Structures are given as structure tokens and as C-alpha cells.
Amino acid sequence: MMAARFLRRSLPVLRQARCYADAPSGSAQMSFTFASPTQVYFKEASVKQVDVPTLTGAFGILPAHVPTLQVLRPGVVTVFNDDGSATKFFVSSGSITVNADSSVQLLAEEAFPLDQLDVARSEVGTEPIGGFGREEKNSSSTLLHHGLQETVEGAPPYTHRRDSSGEGGKLSSSAYTSQTN
């Protein structure tokens, strides 16, 4: 049944035959919304470029980018503002939508500006301390740490599993994208 569903779903992909892109009809400005459930970083702001890490690879989005839907993986999102400055955020997972009218919605499950993160402290979290509760914290810190590691060193892509932990804490391991491998 699962195979049939995949086959059925792959049909639309076959329908979109790849061809040269049409001339961009979207506006020259990108309306960029970047938010996590608890905080809004950009709301319909106009920025020059956004670099995002997705499951299929990292790419940069400029105004009038081809419409697409992607799922994020743990990594760094870089936002290049109109004035040239760049701000970096670490995201755990989420989704990105680029619409035809050049509006971009980047919804991250957890997102923090890089300067709020301390790589050394996240390393400490990965040491096995023992006890059930600690192990959960362990796994979420491992996730974060691997993501950070790749950010810094460019390690191979990390496939994260779907965890439903009951903790509502800051580094909860509820990486929502269910990647079945």
C-alpha cells in the first residue's frame, strides 16, 4: 500500500517536466517571514538573500526564486539584509515555502541566533550522565551538537528520527520531520 501511495504521488513530479524557467513574474522584493513557535525574527521583511540548509541540500534564495517547498535539517540559516549585513541563526528543523509572488515563509521548530549558542556547553551535554531523564537530554544535545558540528566542520548529513518527547523544554528532541530511512 505504501508503494502504491508513493507511485501515485510521484506522478505529479513526472508531470512537471523540467524546462527552462519562465521569466520571473514575481515582485522584485522578497517578503520574508522567519518564525519559530515562540518567537518571530522576521515578519514580511524585505531582505536580499536567505541561505537555508534543507534535506536535499543547502541553497540560497533570492527574490523571484522559483516557487518550492522544502524541509529543513539542523543547520545554519543566513539572512543577508538589504544593507549588506548578515545574521546567522541555528535551526533544528522546519519547513520553507517560496511562493510565486516572491514571499518566503521559513518556519523553524526551534531557532536561535548563533551568538546565543555555546558550542562548548552543548558538548558537555553529550557526556552520558546516567538516569532516564538525563538520557533524553543527552539525545537532544547530541542532535544539536551534530548539527553544530556540521555547521562548523561540514560533516556528512545527519538524518534525524522522529522523537516525541514529553518535555516542553528548550532543547526538546521533537525534531518533527519524520524521515523514514
Partner 1 sequence: MFARTSALVFLPQCGQVRNMATLKDITIRLKSIKNIQKITKSMKMVAAAKYARAERQLKPARVYGNGAGALYEKAEIKAPEGVANKHLLIGVSSDRGLCGAVHSNVAKAIKAKIANLTGEGKEVMVVNVGDKLRNILQRTHGSYLLLSCKEVGRKPPTFTDASIVATELLNMGYEFDQGAVIYNRFRSVISYKTDEKPIFSIDTVANSENMGIYDDIDADVLRNYQEFALVNTIYFGLKESTTSEQSARMTAMDSASKNASEMIDKLTLTFNRTRQAVITKELIEIISGAAAL
Q: Which of residues 20-39 bind partner 1 (CB under 8 A)?
A: 33, 35-39
Q: Return all residues near 11 (Cβ < 8 A) that are at least 6 apart.
A: none
In angstroms, the CA 76 to CA 148 distance is: 8
Grid cell digits, residue 85: 549585513
Single residue of 55, 114, 117, 171 touching partner 1 by CB under 8 A: 55
Single residue of 58, 69, 152, 155 touching partner 1 by CB under 8 A: 69
Torsion, Cα of 88, 93, 94, 99 (10° steps): 50
Single residue of 4, 12, 23, 85 touching partner 1 by CB under 8 A: 12
Residue 168 interacting with partner 1 (CB under 8 A): yes
Of the candidates 91, 135, 130, 128, which has an alpha carbon nearest to the alpha carbon of residue 111? 91
Contacts with partner 1 by CB under 8 A lie at 5-6, 8-10, 12-13, 15-16, 33, 35-40, 43, 55-56, 66-71, 94-95, 97, 99-101, 103, 105-107, 109, 162, 164-168, 172, 174, 176-179
